[in-house]
Structure 1
Amino acid sequence: MTRQTETSSATFARPAVPALVLILLGLATGYLSGLFGVGGGVVIVPALLLLGVDQRLASGSSVAAVLPASVVGAAGYALTGSVDWLAGLLLAAGIVVGAQLGTYLLARLPRNVLFWLFLGFLAAVIVSLWIVIPQRDDVIPLTPLVGVALVLAGAVTGILSGLLGVGGGIIIVPVLMFFFGASDLIAKGTSLLMMVPGSISATIGNARRRNLDLRIAAYVGISACVASPLGLLTAHAISPFWSNAAFSVLMSAIAIQLVIKHLRARRRKG
């Protein structure tokens, strides 16, 4: 194989997406990131695909764009005391290992079964968001057993992320609220903190594999940083009930998006 062929095999079509479109996408992503404690990849990747960006390039650029928004969001929540640093680090340790295991198992497990199990999890979370309302002063009672559980929760999240291509925030935020007793704000702030090391690791890997468009990542990431504080202010301004209600709408949209994507993939195979 010649050098020219090797280079072309790692090169994707790079449509000239207008800067204004990328800025608007970043503003929406940053606001959702600050409001819900999620990375924003569930918004960035589908939007980039609609704009004609290659799947791998869209995913890699999304991870890079999420990094600055996660840093700004985590810092904002930290300033208000809404980050559990130890819990975030334990989750991050688990998710880094779990993500590697998820990509390893990707070709070895029946994804169809896992997909519907995960969809069932999302449905249960959506219902729970209307039943269990956390209190703003709730904290995670850290004990050795809870610490181990946090690492395991991070590992399971990483595995699901690697297998199904979903972001960790949509899993970790409800898990921290319902299984670890965190308030909605601490769950969101800790989720954003957890994403930082994972995003750094993934961005380095994507850059090496050329699955990254720096122009897209820069426009979306920088504009996301601008809007993230507004999402943070909204999260503090609304009550835990309305926070849960809004999060349930986001989860429903993600579930619908995943079903559509799954059905389209099955049609292509058929």
Structure 2
Amino acid sequence: MDLYLPIANLSVNALVIIALGGVVGLLSGMFGVGGGFLTTPLLIFYGIPPTVAAASAASQVTGASVSGVVTHMARGTVDFRMGGVLIAGGIMGAGMGVGIFRMLQALGQIDTVIGILYVLMLGSIGMLMAKESIQSLIALKTGRQIQARKRRHHPLVAALPMRWRFYRSGLYISPLAPLLLGVATGILTMLLGVGGGFIMVPAMLYLLGMATQAVVGTSLFQILFVTMATTMMHALTTKAVDLVLALLLLIGSVIGAQVGTRISMSVRPEYLRILLAFIVLVVAIRMAIGLGWRPDEIYTVQVL
């Protein structure tokens, strides 16, 4: 069933796009990650222009985050004060990202930069995940316990001035730390169409030292509003948001997430993590190959 995407300016098989969204949703349900960092590469592999893929993926992440945020708010696991600071930083970062995005568009390098950033990002994340997963599997086989890391914010965070109390997160730190973290995530969201949870969650745990029970809910709360703002900025400036594409992805991701959640309940988490690390590394390698592989048709999306 072919469907025309008005912004991408090409026809696609709607069932294939729904299936791609389903794969991302499946991974989300199985591994507990947003999956947004895989949406853009998969769309690029299918032939969607990188600019449209990144902008539309951000809008899809917005829709997919709503149910998660509502659930965590009902459980009381959202630190609204911390989330507000992260959102402020994220919107600032998204505004900076608009300038970077349009500058790279004008230079004709936005597609290449998106590809390079994804290779570096997925490659580093995949290697770290693989290392941690292998250590967990070895400990599982030998019966050795891995010592849990003590929750403590980074010394650089402790050195920042103007401390605030974040009661839900159990922190007494400067708001500048989460603000800067939000800025970095906002820039990545604007450029790559990712939610940023795969960076936000480890940073909240290991840099800010947040209480574990408040991390996921607060991260989703920030992702919801920052991706919403990013989508609006894309729509008003780069004109690269394809709502038809985003809707198809959202349908697939909702279905896939339900299936993935059921699978995750029957498989050990150590095996799930090593599988996710393998998938991320495969995508990174495919992106790296694509950077040096000349396509049959060369195109880009440019605002006139």
| Pair 1:63-2:58 in alignment | yes
Deviations for 1:145-204, whole angstroms, at most 9, x for unmatched residues?
2x3321221122233455666551221122123223446664333322211112211222
Which is worse superposed, 208-217 or 73-82?
A: 73-82
Letter in 1 for 2:240: N
Question: Which of 176, 179, 182 is matched with 1:148 structurally?
Answer: 176
Q: Aligned with 1:143: secondary structure?
A: strand
Match of 1:172 in 2: 200
Comparing 172-181 with 153-162, which one deviates more in the overlay? Answer: 153-162
Larger C-alpha radius of gyration, 1 or 2? 2
1:223 matched to 2:266: no
Cα deviation code 1:194-247 (max 9, x no counterpart): 111122112223333432222221121133234435556777887776676566
Q: Distance in 1 between matches of 2:258 and 2:214?
A: 16
Aligned mate of 1:191, from 219, 228, 236:
219
Secondary structure of 2:10 counterpart:
coil
Structure 2 counterparts to residues 1-270 of structure 1, below 5 A: 12-36=7-31, 38-104=33-99, 122=125, 125-126=128-129, 127=131, 130=135, 140-145=169-174, 147-162=175-190, 167-182=195-210, 186-208=214-236, 209-229=238-258, 231=260, 245=274, 248-249=277-278, 252-253=281-282, 255-256=284-285, 259-260=288-289
Q: Give the match's secondary structure for 1:140.
A: coil
**Cα gap change, 1:161 to 1:19, in 2 (>3 Å):** closer
Output the CA distance in 2 between the equivalents of 1:101 and 1:219: 29
**Residue identity (%):** 30
Flag the 1:166–1:22 CA change in 2: closer, same or farther, 3 A: closer
Which whole-Å CA distance do the structure 2 matches of 1:237 and 1:92 have between them?
Answer: 35
Name structure 2 gaps, 5 residues minimum. Answer: 1-5, 105-112, 137-145, 153-167, 299-304
Q: Deviations over 1:19-45 (max 9, x none)?
A: 222222222222333555544333222
Asked if the contact 2:93–2:184 (Cα under 8 Å) also holds between the matched residues in 1, the reply is: yes
More helix by percentage: 1
Counterpart-to-counterpart distance in 1, 2:212 and 2:276? 10
1:218 alignment partner AA: L
CA contact (8 A) 1:73 1:232 kept: no
**Equivalenced residues, count:** 251
Counterpart of 2:186, as a letter, is G
Higher strand residue share: 2
2 CA distance for matches of 1:125 and 1:170? 12
User: For residues 73-130 of structure 1, what are the alpha-carbon distances to aligned partners after superposition, in whole Å with 9 as ceiling and x for unaligned?
Assistant: 223344455443333332222122123224445669xx7xx96986786478434675
Q: 2:9 corresponds to which letter in structure 1?
A: R
The change in CA–CA distance for 1:193 and 1:43 in structure 2 (over 3 A counts) is same
Q: Is this contact kept in 2: 1:35–1:234, CA < 8 A? A: yes
Worse-superposed segment, 217-226 or 161-170: 161-170
- With over 3 angstroms needed to count, the CA separation of the structure-2 counterparts of 1:247 and 1:193, relative to structure 1, is farther
**How far apart in 1 are the matches of 2:205 and 2:276?**
12
Q: State the one-letter code of the partner of 1:213.
A: D
Give the deviation of 1:63 after TM superposition: 1.5
1:214 is matched by which residue type in structure 2? L
